[in-house]
A and B are shown apart, each in its own frame.
Chain A
Amino acid sequence: MGLLYGLIAVGLSLIFGLMNIVNFAHGEFLMLAMYGAFFLFAFFAIDPLLAMPFVAAGMFVFGAAVYLLVVRFAMRAKTNVGMVQIFATFGLAIVLRGLAQYFFTPDYRSIQHSWLGGKTISIGGIFLPVPQLVGALLAIVAFGALYFFIKRTDFGRALEATREDAGAVALVGIDQNRVFALGWGLGSALVGLAGAIMATFFYIYPDVGASFALIAYVVVALGGFGSVFGAFAGGILVGLVEAMTALMLPPSLKAVGIYAVYLLVVFIRPRGLFGSI
């Protein structure tokens, strides 16, 4: 489960953590991706596992479009940039939820009889649900790829440089909007992967994103802004803490443990576990 939070958070760690842009619509991105997987399954009988590339591609286009149409303008503000970003994306989140209610109706939907759904696998006597396991593997792969991408490619360096000083990178010929639009596309594509896999074992409804989004923010901040590895570690830590809280407290309070650990960590280390900014 921790790696699952990690998987949701990996896209956010790119947008929120590395580009330092607040996206309060992250949960709604996840919701859209889950619906994407659902409709591909319902209309074209494409299994979510195969649908993943399509959902990711669709979310890539959507994320880049959101950056170019909305976020780009939110970053122009001279004062209170943070607040403008928060409320522009919060407004977007409400619009997306409204649109989902309008077009998809508020009904709960689920994908039955997918290749992965409901199956379990036994490893050394411990039964593990297959979809979660695939999600966990996917999270590890996604984090690894992102880490490599940021540290080893020109684009990754351009992204970090653009966050640091947009004016200076413009001088060396890097177009801020192009870099950030690609970054948003990529971050959204990663949410697309998370959404496609989660569609196989969660109910899908317009408000589904909200409950995951807050934990994703905590995961990114816990790990520390500017660190991909931090978000990965944050995801695992949150998963472990949740499992332990579940043993001691009633299930409705399990998130309290996660939040408490976040506070504990930032009180001791004000920049998260591995944060650089």
Chain B
Amino acid sequence: MHDVTHAIRRRRDLIVAAVLVALAACVPLFVKDVYVQNIMVLTLMYAGLSQSWNILGGYCGQISLGHALYFGLGAYVTAILLTKFGVLPWFGMLAGGLISALIALALGYPTFRLGGHYFAIATIVIAEIAYLLFLNWDWAGAALGIDMMVREDSWLKFQFLRSKLPYFYFALFFALAAWLVTWWLENSKWGYWWRAVKDNPDAAESLGVVVFKSKMGAGAISAFLTAIGGAFYAMFVSYIDPDAVMSFQFSLLIALPAVVGGIGTLWGPVLGAAILIPLTELTRSFIGGSGRGVDLIVYGGLIMLISLTRPDGLLGLFSRRKKEVAR
């Protein structure tokens, strides 16, 4: 009985996702405003990034506050390969993802043995070391960053002068891919392992779950996807510097949509990004112009309010209502 409802729920999730993607794909046909399109691209990108973070932080319960490292690596590998070696960004993107996944495995080896705050601070510190190194690495542009000159519209080089549409569709693809990976993993043996590791690592270990291996797997997948997002961002803004792609603030921004929407849930990151990113951008442009910090007060207050009133994420609002209806 349980298996049947479970299968139905999974199929329903897939259908909802397909409908949402189809609807989202049509939006640019009606919305021509570049500013709005820009917000939509960022929303989709953050949905994908937060979904990637959620695999490690939400499902596996390893709170990483250093995902800016993988995002930044994806962005830098793509940008360096393009500007120094003329490698097309599509390959750069893959290279960035693979390098990030390898680094996640190498870093996971010592860090996944740490528990709780010690792990979280280790992730911050590692990302911060990378940030400082890139800030001082002259060959990689140091603090000035890397400028990828856009000369012509080209799908091959994934550069477009004015149109935001190609970026929009790639961001949609990225968010969907991250969602699908999560959807698939949720029901795989990895998904079950991760939840066991999150709930009680000692019990999981005694039941034959290879805790360490599960964490490594989650870390590598999460890093790979995050780096793809970083590579996309580099091409989207066509200019990167350490502050823009690797600062500590960024690690928190990647995790935030998942936390706001519902940590360790399939739809949480999507919902969180859909609410948070437009709100951030709108407050920034409508009341941030004064330079007096009002946008910060509104934004910070909102984060506080949501985390205090809905500690399990906004998704809880929906599921509770559904339960009431069912009754």
Binding site for B on A (CB under 8 A): 16, 22, 70, 73-74, 76-84, 86-88, 90-102, 105-106, 206, 214, 217-218, 221, 225, 250, 252-253, 255-256, 259-260, 262-263, 266-267, 270-272
Contact = CB atoms under 8 A, between A and B. Distances in A.
Contact of A99 (B110, B122, B297): B297
Interface in B122-175: 122, 124-126, 128-129, 132-133, 135-136
Contact of A95 (B65, B292, B297, B308): B297
Nearest to B249: A210
B304 interface: yes
Given A90-B252, A94-B300, A214-B128, 6 more contacts: A87-B259, A87-B303, A87-B304, A101-B296, A252-B132, A256-B133
B114 A270 contact: yes
A267 B110 contact: yes
> What is the interface residue range for chain B against chain A?
35 or more
Interface of B: 57, 63, 65, 110, 113-118, 120-122, 124-126, 128-129, 132-133, 135-136, 248, 252, 255-256, 259-260, 263-264, 291-305, 307-308, 311-312
Given A77-B311, A253-B132, A101 B293 contact: yes
Contacts of A74: 307-308, 311
A70 B301 CA distance: 11
A92 B301 CA distance: 7
Given A98-B297, A266-B114, A83 B263 contact: yes
Contact of A106 (B115, B122, B291, B301): B291
A80 B59 CA distance: 11
A256 B129 contact: yes
A31 to B, nearest CB: 13
A48 to B, nearest CB: 25
A185 to B, nearest CB: 20
A81 B115 CA distance: 15
B124 to A, nearest CB: 7
30 contacts: A79-B263, A79-B311, A80-B264, A82-B116, A83-B259, A84-B307, A84-B308, A87-B260, A88-B304, A90-B303, A91-B300, A94-B299, A96-B300, A97-B296, A98-B296, A98-B297, A98-B298, A101-B291, A102-B293, A105-B292, A106-B291, A214-B124, A250-B136, A252-B132, A256-B133, A259-B126, A262-B122, A263-B125, A267-B113, A272-B118
B20 to A, nearest CB: 25
Given A91-B304, A101-B293, A259 B125 contact: yes
A84 B311 contact: yes
Contact of B263 (A22, A80, A91): A80
A267 B312 CA distance: 32
A256 B134 CA distance: 12
B118 A87 contact: no
Given A91-B302, A250-B136, A255 B294 contact: no
Contacts of B304: 70, 87-88, 91-92, 95
A102 B121 CA distance: 31
B50 to A, nearest CB: 13
- 3 A-B pairs with least C-beta separation: A94-B300, A101-B293, A98-B296
A87 B135 contact: no
Contact of A253 (B121, B126, B136, B305): B136
A86 B116 CA distance: 13
Contacts of B116: 82
Contact of A214 (B113, B120, B122, B248): B248
A91 B298 CA distance: 10
A270 B112 CA distance: 10
